[in-house]
Amino acid sequence: MVNLTKQPIKWKSTSLKQQRHRGRWLPEGGYRREIVGGDHDAERRDRKRELEETKREASRRPRHPLHLLHSHPGRVLGRIQARRDSSARQINQIACITIQLDRLLVKVLVSEARQMERSVESARGARTSTGFRHDPETYREIISFLSKNSMLNHARCILLDDMPQRLVSPTEDMFAALIDGYGRASIPQEAVKIFRRLPELGITRTVISYDAFFKAILRTGRVAMAKRFFNAMLAEGVPPALSTYNILLWGFCVSIKMETAQRFFADMKQRGIAPTLVTYNTILNGWVRAKKMDVAEKVFDEITAAGFAPNSISYNIMIKGYVSSGRAEDGLRLFSSMGEKGLSLSEKTFAALLPGLCDDVGRGAEAREALNKMVELQMTPKDPSIFLRLVSSLCQSGDLEGAVDVHQKMSRFKHLSVDPQQYSVLIESLCKGEKYESAIALLDELLQNGALLNPQDPALEPPTYNPMIEYLCDHGQTKKAEAFFRQLMKKGVDDKVAFNNLIRGHAKEAMLESASDILTIMTRRGVPTDADSYVLLVESFLKKNEPADARTALDSMMEQGHLPSPTLFRSVMSALFEDGRVQTASRVMKSMIEKGVKENMDLAHKILEALFMRGHIEEALGRINLMTMNDCIPDVDRLLAVLCDSEKATEVQKLAEFTLERGYDVNFSSYDRVLDVLYAADKTLPAYNILCKIKAKGGVVDKKGCDELIKSLIAQGNTKQADILSRILAGKAPIATKSSKRVAMDAC
């Protein structure tokens, strides 16, 4: 037994070809160990272990798409081209596994390319990377592909530069493809330049190039140029073919040059070229476009006389002509005739028939029948607006169920989105017909698919959304109404009626915070409000026993220029007063008086009494002054009596002084009670001041009480005031001297 650890070890690199030959897929750049003179069993075990490890590693690596190249060349090459940054690297990858690019592979590479720029690079790089040389067939494929995909500059460079450099002569059909590409791109001037240069490039112009040229310039209506070049074609000795006349007739009919088309049609027959059904259909379409249905009918009859059977295209053209000229009955007749003759119906058939049926209010049933036939045949109309027209027609005729049925059938057509205007027509009509449940179902669908949020679509009109919002708000679904209207608001809709309906709806459902939010939005956007909405909101807050919020809503109501009723003022003031919010109730009272509302004076007196009782003297006096200025004279005697009964000496003093200074008509008996309260509270000097003012007004006071007041003044050291008062009472001194007033003021 030989010890493996003592044997010399040789590391030998094995190539990819050797690995494949020996069945051993080692990692790229790996090595194989060979043991010389060792144990063969151990060597086999080592090799087996290495082989298993190699297989596991290979299984973890994804297979390169080039392995599938032979079975799916187009798909694989297109995939490689789409995800590689360099076409040269792509070609090198293909060359690594010795795949020879031939004509078929280049054609596949060009046609399967997802990025057209890379297809050109691939086509140009094939020769340099692999030694492949293009021939006219591959160039023809490349030019055709580039022209159809509007890569006209690339195609032009290949034709005028690459091909001459590689000694490959371009052919007429290649230039014809380029001319046709310019025509598709609406660049007729370039088509003219290329066509004029053909003789210089060694290309003999035949029907092939002339046909492409005529088609290119007639796409833009250059009829006069086409006639000139047709004459030049005859002068060159190039005989026109059937395809030439078909192209010319098509161009003349598209431009509605029917007299010219008639002359060329007659010339075609004189030259012995028999028109085909395509020719007749072209002429037929021209007369229909010219709205000459009487001539179109003669051509239609001539088709049969010429030995042809009108096909579906012929019928589609006639149906479209009848419908566009207001003869929907004749269009329906031909539509029925198509079914009798077994002609296949197509999207174009229905596109020609349905507009006339939809625009005719009395043919809603026939339009629905045609639409059901489309659903049965699984045909999708190319013009989705046909549904809007049909729904509008059915709604106008009063067939609301039919309109809803047509709307629902739209879901059976794939890739069709509903026009928001269709929702508008349906919802408005259903609301007018009092089919509110169906309207709500449509509204749910509208909110779910978010059709209103598309900025490109116009917003719904007020006759559509206002009845819907009003109904929802009146039936406990204001939240849904608000969600609907908020989508409209994003489109710039600020509708006063809708806002006020939302406020009323939220107020009825006791969603007062939401109602307040709507009011805030209205104020911010400058939308006029409705007084009834505010009244309902205030009353709702009062019902929820939230007088502070009621007062806020009342203030907003007045800010918006609405005058609350005396009853509403009273309700808010009473609620605030009962809730202990006397000062807030006083502010509401102030607003009420400033607005000229003179009712509710009994409640106003209660508020004044409460203000005095709580010590808010200045505020109470301010309210009294405001009432006086607005001819709402308060009952001061009553206020003084209440305060005297409550022995509020300070409040009594302030109120009495206020009334004496402003000359209120107060009973002297009330002042006597005031003096009694002041005597009892030992407010000697204030009593002296008030007494002086009473005597100045000629009032009669209690002599006994005055004597007691004089004694109190003397006892407190106010001898001067006592002397003045004694002389006043004795009639020996003037009452309203400046000195007495100054002394009285000093005493205060």
Q: For the segment 358-373, what is each residue's pLDDT rounded down to a tens digit?
A: 777 677 778 888 888 8
Burial class (CB in 10 A: 0-12, 13-18, 19+), 519: buried
From CA 11, how far away is CA 563, in angstroms rounded?
105
Q: Average of pLDDT values for 41-67? A: 61
Residues 6+ apart with CB under 8 A from 321: 287, 288, 291, 293, 296
pLDDT at residue 247 in the model: 95
Nearest to 166, CA basis, from 199, 139, 147, 187: 139
User: Which of 102-116, 309-323, 490-504 comes out lowest in average pLDDT?
Assistant: 102-116
pLDDT at residue 657 in the model: 85
In the chain, what is the greatest distance between 2 CA atoms, to the nearest angstrom? 158
pLDDT in tens, 131-180: 556 677 878 888 888 888 888 888 888 888 888 888 888 889 999 999 99
Nearest to 658, CA basis, from 688, 680, 636, 675: 636
pLDDT bin (cut points 50, 70, 90) of residue 711 is low
Q: Please give the residue that has the higher pLDDT: either 703 or 661.
A: 661
Work out the mean pLDDT of the chain and round it to a whole number: 78
pLDDT at residue 748 in the model: 37
From CA 375, how far away is CA 411, in angstroms rounded?
10
pLDDT at residue 607 in the model: 92
pLDDT at residue 710 in the model: 66
pLDDT over threshold 50, residue 23: no
pLDDT over threshold 90, residue 516: no
- Sketch the domain layout of the chain as residue ranges: 4-60, 72-277
pLDDT at residue 55 in the model: 61
Tell me which fold the domain 72-277 belongs to. 1.25.40
pLDDT at residue 223 in the model: 94
From CA 411, how far away is CA 639, in angstroms rounded?
78
Answer for the pair 179, 216: CB distance below 8 angstroms, yes or no.
Answer: yes
pLDDT in tens, 191-246: 999 999 999 989 999 999 999 999 999 999 999 999 999 999 999 999 999 999 99
pLDDT over threshold 70, residue 714: no
From CA 244, how far away is CA 170, in angstroms rounded?
23
12 phi/psi in degrees, rounded to 5? -120, 125
| The residue to which tokens 């849904």 are assigned | 480
- What is the three-class DSSP state of 168? coil
CA of 536: how far to CAs of 409, 483, 504, 511, 520, in Å? Answer: 44, 22, 7, 12, 16
From CA 714, how far away is CA 132, in angstroms rounded?
137
pLDDT over threshold 70, residue 444: yes
pLDDT bin (cut points 50, 70, 90) of residue 423 is confident
